[in-house]
Structures are given as structure tokens and as C-alpha cells.
Amino acid sequence: MTNRNKNVLVVDDDEIFCQVVQRALTRRGFHVETCFNIASAEHTANHTKFDKALVDLKIAQESGLALIRRLITINPSMQIIMLTGYASVATAVEAIKLGAVNYFCKPVDIDEVLQGFVGADLMEEQPSPISVPRLDRVEWEHIQKVLQDHQGNISAAASALGVHRRTLQRKLQKRPSKN
């Protein structure tokens, strides 16, 4: 796949995630625009022709599924990959039905995402398999999000998760596998 003049739209309300993805794709020769909400994504897509898009399932209080339909309407040839921190078969099926070429669960490797686009080029009619993380990885990511939501306060995060503070501390000491 040649990267010349390939425009990629990244839509996610997590600004740090967008920056990381933007840097990784820019290093690989792509031109990347990031948007943090659906309205700005639609506006940007109306003014720039994007070849590819990475769309988060949950963008603030809105659904990225609705954005897939709108982006396909704006540019029917755009390839879209749905990203989510909370994968489910139902949302994967819905995303593919709406026009996404692939569906990945965060955290995701950028090379894996690019392969998801290449696979879409090679196999137009076959949906790609869903990449589902291990249970301990999903639990770790959820704990990290709740901890972040409570500004690192372990007692408050433990209360929000419904576990004892020491139990949460033990879970934080264990690192999950990469898959």
C-alpha cells in the first residue's frame, strides 16, 4: 500500500489517543486530521476528501455508529475502521453493516490497524474477524479508566468499582497480558 496522498480522519474524544495515532500514522507517511466530536468530524469530512477513517464507538455522549453512516454518505469510497474500548459482537456486526471495513478493540497496534485497511482492500466481500482482548486486559483497562476518572484516588476508584481498596491495590500490581 502506498501512503502518498492518503488522508486519514481520526475521530475520538480521547485527545491523547488521537495524538498518539496521529504521530504513528504521520511517521508512516499519512496526512492525519483529528476530531474530538461528531460535529467537527462531519464538518472536516465535508471539506477534505479522506481515504480512510478511524472512528471510536463512543465519542463523548454520542455513538460513532451514527458517524459511520454519515461519513459513508459524504464519501462512499472511504474505508472506516471502528475502534472501541468495550467490544461486543452486536456493535461489531452493526458497524460492519453500516459500512465499516473492520472493528478493533483498544488498545490496538497501529500496524494492526493498517493491516485492517489492507485486508479490506484485498477482501472486499469478507468481513474481518473481530479482535477481542483477554478478560484480564479488559478488566485492567476498565480499572485504569475508573482510576483516571477519580484523579488517581485509589479509595474513590475502589468505591466506584465496588471492591475493597486493598483488592484494587493488588489488582493494580498485576500487569495483564498484551492480548
What pLDDT score was predicted for residue 113? 86
Q: Can you name the residues that pair with 103 across neighbouring β-strands? A: 82
Question: Residue 139 corresponds to which cell in the numbers above?
Answer: 478488566
DSSP SS3 for 60: coil
Phi first, then psi: give them for residue 65, nearest 5 degrees. -60, -40
Task: Decide if domain 7-122 falls under CATH 3.40.190.10.
Answer: no
Note the pLDDT tens digit of each residue in 75-124.
Answer: 999 999 999 887 778 888 889 999 999 999 888 888 888 888 865 544 44
What pLDDT score was predicted for residue 144? 83
CATH assignment of 135-173? 1.10.10.60
* Domains in the chain: boundaries: 7-122, 135-173
Cα–chain center distance at 90: 16
Mean pLDDT of the chain: 83
Note the pLDDT tens digit of each residue in 47-62.
Answer: 999 999 999 998 888 8
The rounded percent of the chain whose pLDDT value lies above 90 is 40
DSSP letters along 72-111, please?
HHH-TT-EEEEEESS--HHHHHHHHHHT-SEEEESS--HH
CA distance 125 to 122: 9
Average pLDDT of span 130-141: 73
CA distance 167 to 176: 16
What pLDDT score was predicted for residue 3? 46
| Contacts within 8 Å (CB) and 24+ apart, 143-151 | 143/168, 143/171, 143/172, 145/85, 147/172
